[in-house]
Amino acid sequence: MRHIIFGESHGPVIGVTVEGVPAGLALDLKKVQRELDRRRPGQDPTATARKESDRVEVLSGLFEGKTTGTPLTMIIRNSNQHSGDYDALRYTPRPSHGDYAGFIKSKGCQDHRGGGHFSGRLTAPLVAAGAVAKQILAQKGVTVGAHISSIYGICDASLEDTAELAAVAEKAFPVLDDAKGEEMRQAILEAKEELDSVGGAIECAVTGLPAGLGAPDFGCNVEGIFSQYLFAVPAVKGVDFGAGVAFSLMRGSEANDPFAVEDGKVVTKTNHAGGVNGGITNGMPVTFEVTIRPTPSIALPQESVDLRTGEEIEIEIKGRHDPCIVPRAVPVIEAAAALAACALLGI
Ligand X SMILES: Cc1cc2nc3c(=O)[nH]c(=O)nc-3n(C[C@H](O)[C@H](O)[C@H](O)COP(=O)(O)O)c2cc1C
Q: Which helix (H) or strand (E) holds 277?
A: strand 276-277
Provide the H-helix boundaries in 139-275: 165-168, 178-193, 222-230, 252-255
With contact defined as beta carbons under 8 Å apart, do 189 and 321 qualify?
Answer: no
Q: Of 89 and 342, which CB lies nearer to ligand X in the complex structure?
A: 89
- In the complex, minimum distance from the CB of residue 99 to ligand X, in angstroms, rounded to a whole number: 9
46 binds ligand X (CB under 6 A): no
What SS3 state is found at 324?
strand
- For ligand X, the binding residue among 67, 150, 328, 330 (CB under 6 A) is 328
Helices 29-39 and 123-138: angle between axes, nearest 10 degrees = 140
Provide the H-helix boundaries in the chain: 29-39, 99-105, 123-138, 165-168, 178-193, 222-230, 252-255, 326-344
- In the complex, minimum distance from the CB of residue 330 to ligand EPS, in angstroms, rounded to a whole number: 13
- For ligand X, the binding residue among 76, 159, 329, 336 (CB under 6 A) is 329
In 215-228, which positions are buried (b, 16+ CB within 10 angstroms) versus exposed (e)?
eeeeeebbbebbbe
Q: Of 27 and 198, which CB lies nearer to ligand X in the complex structure?
A: 198
188 binds ligand X (CB under 6 A): no
**Could you tell me if residue 283 is left (phi over 0), alpha (psi between -120 and 50 degrees) or otherwise beta?**
left
- In the complex, minimum distance from the CB of residue 81 to ligand X, in angstroms, rounded to a whole number: 13
- In the complex, minimum distance from the CB of residue 145 to ligand X, in angstroms, rounded to a whole number: 18
**Could you tell me if residue 310 is left (phi over 0), alpha (psi between -120 and 50 degrees) or otherwise beta?**
left
- In the complex, minimum distance from the CB of residue 290 to ligand X, in angstroms, rounded to a whole number: 10
- For ligand X, the binding residue among 233, 239, 243, 340 (CB under 6 A) is 233
Q: Of 214 and 296, which CB lies nearer to ligand EPS in the complex structure?
A: 296
Give the per-residue contact string, 289-318, with ligand X (x = CB under 6 A; - = no): ----x-xxx---------------------
Q: Of 50 and 185, which CB lies nearer to ligand EPS in the complex structure?
A: 50
Q: Of 119 and 268, which CB lies nearer to ligand EPS in the complex structure?
A: 119
Q: Of 69 and 95, which CB lies nearer to ligand X in the complex structure?
A: 95
Q: Which of 343, 88, 76, 45 is nearest to 222 (CA)?
A: 343
Q: Exposed, middle or buried, 312 (CB in 10 Å: 0-12/13-18/19+)?
A: exposed
114 binds ligand X (CB under 6 A): no
Q: What residues line the site for ligand X (CB under 6 A)? A: 48, 97-98, 115, 118-120, 123, 233-235, 293, 295-297, 321-322, 325, 328-329, 332
